[in-house]
């Protein structure tokens, strides 16, 4: 049977990315020199409906001078500045566990037909070559290395996402700082590694062995791998789990991305091994007409996270993917409730990423990665599930003001100490966006306006962010 490694994936870095391995490596020396984003002038208490590990509660989240969460209180704390969010919902920053950020400069793609597996459209679909892969290769050759990634990071950020997965190996560690990257250097360590495809014909085996050695040594806690991505009746896709086992790569660190062709029995095998699953239903449905047996996975006790995948066939935001996930779970006969859906992109996602002690929850001592959603629904969890990016009123990463309402950011930030954030109009609302937290490569445009101008100069059909 023909395998992925037997085929020529095509020209350029984006074709190579299909076989790319993101391995552990220390941060560059420049990572320690990153400029700080705008931060509150002093410790601040955000008042609103707070989603804690114990449930939703009306109260205050205190962000201390060290930019960490100092505590959650039902009473107004003393000695800190109060910022009332007007009964908004304060949620842990969202974690998108599957994506290909460099492709998120494109508009959504409607595949012209259904495919058996990912190898088929990558090899055989001329529209994919024309509309996505070839332009991506041209953009990578023509623009500074971080341009596509930065644009995708901004797209994630304005949708409430504070951590993503899927950056290719070409991205320098010191520059990946606008949002967190769960499979690169994060919070002083690197606990995640990624591969796109299983090794084939000897290609990739050395990389896999290195990752497995890191897992055995306890250095890697999450190994992300595309597996069984195809229609449930596709023999090649179903057979990939057996190949994974033969390679000795199924363990408690394994994070299977997609798994859309896996049977319920095979999902049980993942569960028995302690592996995890990341689901991208929108992309699966568009490409294959079917998606993962997610309801069965949850009933089996598999830890399940969500990823918006890439914009060409996935969702424009993780918030949009939440809605697709809810619909599909309902069609599969399971109503998990709004709270569980929120956990799939916060606490459950952090646990899958090996970062349960650092991200995904609003607790004292953790980094202040927070997103504030405008209150549009009485149930606070339902408020998040029904939200879209226009609902996002403030995003903090590491206690710093990354994106938010003009009046809030202007009031909270220290004037004159940092570069002025960029004003953008997002779904009719004046917002401020701070892209200064970056060790920029030479010639890297610092603002969204400049990023967009450079992209459009090379490819006028660049997909919009605020649409």
Structural domains of the chain sorted by starting position, each given as residue range(s) with its CATH number in brackets: 1-467 (3.20.20.140)
What integer pLDDT is reported at residue 20 of this predicted model? Answer: 56
Residue 39: the pLDDT is 74
pLDDT at position 144 is: 84
- The rounded distance, in Å, linking the Cα atoms of 100 and 311 is 8
C-alpha distances in angstroms, 94 versus 217, 244, 370, 386, 406? Answer: 29, 30, 8, 14, 21
In tens digits, the chain (467 residues) has pLDDT values of 233 333 333 433 334 444 456 666 665 544 444 445 667 778 999 999 999 999 999 999 999 999 999 999 999 999 999 999 999 999 999 999 999 998 999 999 899 999 999 999 999 999 999 999 999 999 999 998 788 989 999 999 999 999 999 986 655 555 447 899 999 888 888 899 999 999 988 788 999 999 999 999 999 999 999 999 999 999 999 999 999 999 999 999 999 999 999 999 999 999 999 999 999 999 999 999 999 999 999 999 999 999 999 999 999 999 999 999 999 999 999 999 999 999 999 999 999 999 999 999 999 999 999 999 999 999 999 999 999 999 999 999 999 999 999 999 988 986 655 566 899 999 999 999 988 765 445 555 578 999 999 999 999 999 999 98
Edge to edge, the sheet with strand 222-227 lists: 21-22, 192-195, 222-227, 254-258, 276-279, 304-306
For residues 293 and 336, give the distance between their C-alpha atoms in angstroms, rounded to a whole number: 14
**Residue 443 burial (CB count, 10 A):** 11
The total number of residues shown for the chain amounts to 467
List CB contacts of 391: < 8 A, sequence separation 6 or more.
319, 373, 374, 376, 383
What is the pLDDT at residue 169?
Answer: 61
* Axis-axis angle for helices 134-142, 147-157 (nearest 10): 110
Answer yes or no: pTM beyond 0.95: no
Say what the pLDDT of residue 421 is.
Answer: 84
Alpha-helical regions (H) of 338-392? 338-344, 347-352, 380-385
């Amino acid at each position: 049977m023909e395998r992925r490694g037997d085929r020529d994936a095509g020209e350029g870095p984006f074709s190579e990315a299909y076989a790319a391995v993101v391995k552990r490596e220390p941060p560059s020396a420049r990572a320690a020199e990153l400029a700080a984003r705008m931060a509150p002038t002093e410790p601040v208490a955000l008042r609103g409906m707070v989603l804690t590990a114990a449930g939703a509660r009306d109260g205050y989240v205190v962000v201390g001078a060290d930019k960490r969460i100092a505590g959650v209180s039902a009473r107004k704390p003393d000695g800190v500045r109060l910022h009332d969010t007007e009964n908004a919902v304060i949620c842990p920053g969202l974690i998108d566990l599957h994506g290909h950020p460099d492709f998120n400069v494109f508009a959504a793609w409607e595949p012209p037909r259904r495919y058996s597996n990912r190898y088929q459209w990558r090899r055989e679909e001329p529209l994919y070559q024309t509309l996505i892969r070839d332009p991506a290769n041209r953009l990578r050759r023509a623009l500074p290395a971080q341009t596509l990634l930065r644009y995708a990071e901004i797209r994630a950020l304005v949708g409430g996402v504070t951590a993503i997965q899927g950056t290719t190996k070409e991205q320098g560690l010191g520059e990946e700082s606008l949002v967190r990257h769960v499979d690169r250097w994060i919070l002083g360590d690197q606990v995640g590694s990624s591969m796109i495809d299983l090794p084939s014909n000897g290609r990739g085996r050395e990389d896999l062995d290195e990752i497995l050695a890191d897992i055995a040594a306890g250095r890697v806690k999450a190994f992300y791998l595309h597996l069984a991505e195809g229609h449930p009746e596709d023999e090649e896709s179903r057979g990939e789990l057996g190949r994974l086992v033969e390679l000795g790569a199924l363990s408690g660190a394994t994070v299977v991305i997609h798994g859309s062709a896996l049977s319920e029995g095979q999902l049980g095998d993942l569960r028995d091994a302690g592996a995890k699953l990341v689901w991208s239903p929108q992309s699966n449905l568009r490409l294959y007409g079917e998606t993962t047996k997610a309801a069965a996975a949850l009933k089996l006790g598999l830890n399940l996270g969500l990823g918006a995948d890439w914009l060409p066939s996935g969702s424009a935001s993780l918030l949009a993917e939440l809605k697709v996930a809810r619909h599909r779970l309902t069609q599969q006969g399971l109503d998990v409730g709004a709270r569980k859906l929120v956990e799939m992109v916060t606490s459950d996602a952090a646990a899958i990423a090996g970062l349960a002690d650092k991200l995904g929850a609003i607790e004292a001592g953790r980094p202040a990665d927070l997103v504030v959603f405008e209150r549009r629904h009485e149930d606070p969890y339902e408020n998040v599930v029904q939200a879209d990016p226009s609902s996002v009123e403030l995003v903090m990463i590491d206690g710093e003001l990354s994106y938010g309402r003009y009046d809030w950011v202007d009031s909270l930030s220290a004037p004159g100490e940092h570069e002025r954030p960029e004003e953008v109009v997002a779904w009719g609302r004046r917002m401020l966006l701070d892209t200064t937290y970056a060790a920029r490569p030479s010639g890297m445009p610092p603002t969204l306006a400049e990023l967009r101008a450079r992209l459009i100069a090379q490819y006028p059909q660049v997909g919009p962010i605020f649409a």
